[in-house]
Amino acid sequence: MKKSVLGTFGACALVAVGMSACGGAGPQAAESAPAASAGPAASAASTPTPTPTPTAKAYTADELAAIVGQVRDAADRRLSVLPSGDIKTTLDQTKSMLASIDVKPAECKELAAASTVPSVDGATMAVGKSTDAGTGAVTALSLVAGLDQDFLARIKDQPAQLAKCSSMTMAVSGMEVAVTVTPVEGVGSVPGTFAYRTDTALPDGQKQSTVTAQVVQKGVVVTSVASGGASEDDAVRRAGALLDAAGALVK
């Protein structure tokens, strides 16, 4: 994998976070509660009492930043936590970038814009990253809390929906970029993790590859992104290490 053309987590949000939003779909069906046995005294009109859904903890941005600050990358380095002001600037830039890019198939842009832009408004977020000065490899982690249940359900349903945006073209300032998205197995060990590799080819022959892993852990969306480095295996290892470390800290 060549050094990331995008270079920072904020720029990667266009492809990594934006493309994760292409998994938009309806909520997953809830598991049915086992029916009570119909004994002689059972009433035909009786209805089983549904099991309450646990309420996710309402994390503040500072609490999420404290979690990110405890995470170490695959080389045992603590992540650098981005100031909240920088995160807001990054999100604003990402929204502007999404608005200015022509995406084909068109539904991929519509899904990304509809899912990514409104979803973060009103939520709390923290971001950290680690850069290897020797190789230029970048590994980043984001935690987002306070998202509504519909958006969380769309994230969980990504594997069935991302195929719609597995091959795209993006036109930016007259430059057309080819983007492919491929599911990746074996990233981290947190149950329910979905991971994919995004390959971007520029007209001048430059290429970038990123591995993104995402999971909903107790109502918190945990996303890790790894770019650069020597190989896909290396990126998978780095992304998985961040996801596992963060997942263990989200209570």
HEC string of 190-228 equals CCCCEEEEEEEECCCCCEEEEEEEEEEECCEEEEEEEEC
* Mean pLDDT rounded to a whole number for the chain: 73
228 vs 98, which has greater pLDDT?
228
Average pLDDT over residues 12-28: 36
The backbone region for 192, taken as left when phi is positive above 0, alpha when psi lies in -120 to 50, beta otherwise, is left
Residue 99 and residue 234: Cα distance in Å, rounded? 33
Pairing of strands 102-104, 175-183: unpaired
The answer to which of 32-46, 76-90, 113-127 has the lowest mean pLDDT is 32-46
For the ranges 9-13, 59-63, 83-87, 155-159, the one whose mean pLDDT is highest: 59-63
Q: What percent of the chain has pLDDT over 90?
A: 22
**pLDDT per residue as tens digits for the range 151-186:** 777 777 676 667 778 888 888 777 888 888 889 999
**Domain residue extents for the chain:** 9-24+58-249
Closest alpha carbon to 191 in 215, 170, 173: 215
Distance between CA atoms of residues 34 and 125, nearest Å:
37
Q: Quick one: average pLDDT of 80-101? A: 78
The type of residue at 33 is A
Instruction: Please tell me the least confidently modeled range out of 104-113, 199-208, 215-224.
Output: 104-113
Other CB atoms within a 10 A radius of the CB of residue 73 amount to: 24
Provide the pLDDT for residue 45.
Answer: 39
Q: What is the pLDDT of residue 39?
A: 40
Q: Of 239, 241, 243, whose CA–CA distance to 225 is shortest?
A: 239
Quick one: CATH architecture of 9-24+58-249? 3-Layer(aba) Sandwich (3.40)
Cβ–Cβ under 8 Å, residues 106 and 209: no
Strand-pairing partners, residue 129, are 80, 140
Q: How far is CA 139 from the centre of its chain?
A: 13
The tokens describing 12, both together, are 């990667």
DSSP state of 23: G
* Residue appearing with tokens 């999100």: 91
What whole-number distance in Å separates Cα of residue 239 and Cα of residue 195?
A: 9
Locate 71 and state its tokens: 């995470």
Prediction pTM value: 0.74
Taking the alpha carbons at both ends of the chain, their separation in whole angstroms is 34
Asked if the peptide bond before residue 105 counts as cis, ω within 30 degrees of 0, the response is yes
